[in-house]
Amino acid sequence: MGRIAIVTDSAAAITPENLKERQKRGGFAVVPMPVAIQEATVRAGIRGPRTETNTRDVTGLGPEEMDEAILMAHVLGNTVNTSGPAPGVFADTYDALVDEGYEHILSIHLSGELSGTVEAARVGAQLSKARVTVLDSRTIAGAYGHAALHAHKVADTCDTPEELAEIVTSICAATDIYFYIPTLDALRRGGRVSPALAMVGQMFQIKPIGTVADGKLTYVERPRTATRAKERLTQIIREACAKHRSVKKPPADAAAKHGVRPTGHVVALHHMGNLAEAKTLQDSLGAYALDAALSPLPPVLAAHSGPGALAAIVY
């Protein structure tokens, strides 16, 4: 079988360290998802104050600079907009990997229920000279990011591209994500929830805990107060880990054939401007999260979560 390269997008929460390591080995690329901030400035005028809006593209910033820019935008009440990469960007990425000698590309992306990224990748594949298999992960963040990393690790041992695609699909389906959002303000500014719902959330101090089911975001619970929400988040994550461990006989699929199977551990913890809280959550999870990688929530998701968000990836 020819060499297979892996492509994903920046919503997969691939850390700079992991990206550098994978690119050193070759056959791994991350396509950036555009992020822009609408900055509002109030200026004095003859007829009174007027508000001017300037859109600043922050896509090209380094990871730390982008995280700071998005965090500051939320603090100032500015809207952070996101969009999917253009098909041409995918085509260029695929063609570059072909030029490096890769014969097939597996492209793994953010749930198609939440973003047009996977569709743009499919169009890009048609424009490219590469042989590309595009996969809709039907999940978000590190829940498919860790699948992409596993795929890169075992790509050379797979008999066919279809087998590798089956491994990724299996990992994504067996991976749970649970997240906590302390405020609905960012979702309101981005048009993801109605102003009325955001107001109700603020009035009753609702701090939602959510997950991803069938590719869509869904609420698990709506605790009131941050303290209660974090307590429940910890309990829910522990229960998810225990559920994975209780499976006596994992399915004998392609992933298991290559030694990749659920272990009932937290593989990653994401945060948004609250690293200390992420570390506290890790400590509260004990042995379940000893080796969990701590990383910022991907910018395209941090844009909608707002400061203080937490997320855990269980596999």
Q: Which pTM does this prediction carry?
A: 0.88
Distance of alpha carbon 135 from the chain centroid: 15
Asked which of 67, 82, 97 is the last residue of a domain, the reply is 82
* Domain match, 70 and 181 both: no
The residue that leads in pLDDT, 50 or 215, is 215
Is 235 inside any structural domain? yes
Residue 184 sits in the same domain as residue 59: no
- The structural domain count of the chain equals 2
pLDDT at 212 over 60: yes
Establish if 169 belongs to a structural domain.
no
CATH number, domain of 238, equals: 3.30.1180.10
Residue 69 inside a domain? The answer is yes
Domain annotation covers residue 162: no
- Residue 24: inside a domain: no
* pLDDT for residue 54: 80
Please tell me whether residues 204 and 306 are part of one structural domain.
Answer: yes
Same domain, 181 and 310: yes
Q: How much is the average pLDDT of 190-209?
A: 65
**pLDDT tens digits, one per residue of 229-253:** 999 999 999 999 999 888 766 666 7
Statement to judge: residues 180 and 58 lie in one domain: no
Please tell me whether residues 73 and 194 are part of one structural domain: no
Across 85-100, b (16+ Cβ under 10 Å) vs e yields bebebbbebbbebbee
Q: Which of 49, 82, 115 is the last residue of a domain?
A: 82
Residue 182 lies in a domain: yes
In a domain, 197, yes or no: yes
42-74 pLDDT, tens digit each: 555 556 555 567 888 888 888 888 888 988 888
The torsion of the CA quartet 276, 279, 281, 286, rounded to 10 degrees, works out to: -160
Residue 9 within any structural domain of the chain: no
Residues 308 and 200 grouped into a single domain: yes
Q: What is the pLDDT of residues 74-132, one digit of tens each?
A: 888 888 888 899 999 999 999 999 999 999 999 999 999 999 999 999 999 999 999 99
Nearest-angstrom CA–CA distance, 253 and 90: 30
For residues 71 and 182, membership in a common domain is answered with no
Residue with tokens 């298991």: 256
pLDDT score, position 52? 64
What residue numbers bound the domain in which 245 lies?
176-314
Find, among 92, 83, 86, 104, the residue nearest to 37 by Cα. 83
Q: Which residue, of 82, 103, 118, is where some domain finishes?
A: 82
